[in-house]
Amino acid sequence: MNRVKSLPGVARIAVAAALVFAVCCGIAAGLSLVLPGSDATPTQAANQAVPTQGAATAPMVPTETESLPTDTPQPTDIPQPTDTPLPTDTPQPTDTPQPTDTAVPTATQVPTQTPVPTPGRTEAQVINVVDGDTIEVSIDGESYQLQYIGIDAPEKDEPMGAAAAAANEQLVAGQTLSLEKDVSEMDRYDRLLRYVYRADGTFVNAELVRLGWATAKAYPPDIKYQDLLAGLEQEAREAQIGRWAPTPTQAPEPTAAPTQPVAGSHDVMVDLSCSQFDAPGDDNQNKAEEWVCFRNAGDASADMSGWTLHDEYGWTYSFPSFVLSPGKTVRVVTGCGTNTAEILYWCYENATAVWNNGGDTVYLLDAEGNPVAVQSYP
């Protein structure tokens, strides 16, 4: 009896085991469906999912098939840091060309184009005197023709042209000059336009006007000293000096019959050995003993009728009808008297003497204004 009763207990154990097995198989099948990429067998899945007694630590140890951490590519699939080119695509600093495109400093050339007179003066060496208001100079080894600004002198082939050229030569020949620019650099003939100064400070443009050998003439825009020059011309006209000297209407005849000119060539020169520029005592009170001598060193007579004599200042004497024979000398006395074949009288009526004791220049010009003799002393 006891053996028969024990069968139902065994059967219950068998049934329970079968149920447990069936449950495990179902769980394994479900896991295989959920994780298709897993290499685990249903049995392995069941063993992992359902723990048995005494195997509590088995489910906590990952197996070879647990690759979930390596199958999640999120960190490598997020390209944001490399795909965001904002720092390199913002070209604002290089695309703003304002500093390099603003060429205002180099484009403003107004100071070099505005007609402002050149400050200071330039030194030049006189090479040649062309006429009464034109010279040739050397500047830094280069030769230039130079026209005096603000004045006009007669040409050499015009009346008094030779006298003006002689006066200009006396002022500047061989000298080192200082040149001052007004507005224009050159005239239409490519001549430099300048105000000219000697080393002693003499303003040559003005001096020629003051002596009566040039007129004041404005050539705009170069008119810096035009008022000064116009005033000096007025003074020269009133003093009747230089080209403004009156031409005598009637000259006294010499007492001796003149010798008629003959063919050949004359050579009239200043005879310093005969001349007396410093009269005894007060020159201004003793003009009768102040004189200059001329000698004809040529082989032909010189007809000096209409010739002129003047000093540096511009005081002028006009010769009467007079012929100087070859080898002869004539004396021109500053004071008054009666003309002879050997002595002519200037009869200079101003209060002062003509010739400066400390030095002067004698200019002798023919009737056409051409220089015949120019002599400085001492």
Q: Name the residue ranges covered by the structural domains of the chain.
A: 2-71, 122-244, 268-377
Regarding the domain delimited by 268-377, which CATH topology (the fold level of the hierarchy) does it fall under?
Immunoglobulin-like (2.60.40)
Tokens matching residue 314: 């511009």
Where are the alpha helices (H) located in 247-344, listed in sequence order? none
Tokens matching residue 284: 């201004």
Tell me how far apart the alpha carbons of residues 305 and 343 are, in angstroms, rounded to a whole number.
Answer: 14
- The residue whose two tokens read 């230039």 is 144
Tokens matching residue 312: 């540096």
Nearest to 309 by CA among 252, 273, 360: 360
Q: Are the C-beta atoms of residues 285 and 336 closer than 8 Å to each other?
A: no
SS3 readout for 135-172? EEEEECCEEEEEEECCEECCCCCCCCHHHHHHHHHHHH
Tell me how far apart the alpha carbons of residues 37 and 232 are, in angstroms, rounded to a whole number.
Answer: 122
Tell me how far apart the alpha carbons of residues 73 and 86 are, in angstroms, rounded to a whole number.
Answer: 25
Task: Give the CA diameter of the chain.
Answer: 211
Nearest to 370 by CA among 296, 299, 297, 308: 308
The pLDDT score that the predictor gives to residue 30 is 56
- The residue whose two tokens read 């392995």 is 44
Residue type for 327, please?
A: G
CATH no. of 122-244: 2.40.50.90
Tokens matching residue 61: 């140890």
Number of other residues whose CB lies within 10 A of the CB of residue 339: 19
The pLDDT score that the predictor gives to residue 284 is 83
Length reported for the chain? 378
Residues 182-205: tens digit of each pLDDT: 999 999 989 999 999 999 999 999
- Tens of pLDDT, residue by residue, the chain (378 residues): 444 444 556 566 766 777 767 666 666 655 555 444 444 444 444 344 444 444 444 444 444 444 444 454 555 555 555 555 555 554 454 454 444 443 333 333 333 233 333 457 999 999 999 999 999 999 999 999 999 999 999 988 888 888 899 999 999 999 999 999 999 999 998 999 999 999 999 999 999 999 999 999 998 999 999 999 999 999 999 998 988 887 654 444 444 444 444 445 778 999 999 999 999 988 888 999 999 999 999 889 999 999 999 887 778 899 999 999 999 999 999 999 999 999 999 987 776 788 988 888 899 999 888 889 989 888
- The residue whose two tokens read 């031409």 is 247
Element (H, E) at 274: strand 268-276
Q: Are the C-beta atoms of residues 236 and 242 closer than 8 Å to each other?
A: yes
Tell me how far apart the alpha carbons of residues 347 and 364 are, in angstroms, rounded to a whole number.
Answer: 18
CA distances for 92 relative to 83, 87, 102, 291, 363, angstroms = 20, 11, 17, 94, 83
What is the separation of C-alpha 72 from the centre of its chain, rounded to a whole number of angstroms? 81
**Mind giving me the DSSP string for 279-302?**
-SS-GGG-GGG-EEEEEE-SSS-E
- What single DSSP character describes residue 236? H
